Amino acid sequence: MAWILLVISGVLEAVWATALGKSEGFSKPVPTVVFAVGLALSMTGLALALRTLPVGTGYAVWVGIGAVLTAGYGMAFEGEPASLLKVALLAGIVGCVVGLKLAH
């Protein structure tokens, strides 16, 4: 159950990070609310998952999921430059996250 909660929290990290960028310094109300709710839920899920999982593993997986999804969203929908190298490096992060799960 902790791993499922950790993955959901990692997805929510990407939600709040993306909303933070769209809030334009908290000047836009809807993205600001999405940011605040996403952040609270993401942190709560991470905290609950870390009751069972080691903090180093849990945090690395949480950050990895959030980073890959945020970067992927930016490349797919926000016009951020994409390249084969970037995609390969993001795939490497995914591989490392999976490796941490398997090593646990």
Number of Cβ within a 10 Å radius of residue 19: 20
**In which residue ranges of the chain is pLDDT below 50?**
none
Alpha carbons within 13 A on the beta-carbon side of 56: 3
d(CA 93, CA 62): 11
* pLDDT the model gives residue 104: 77
DSSP, residue by residue, 32-51:
HHHHHHHHHHHHHHHHHHTT
d(CA 64, CA 7): 10
- What is the domain partition of the chain in residue ranges? 2-103
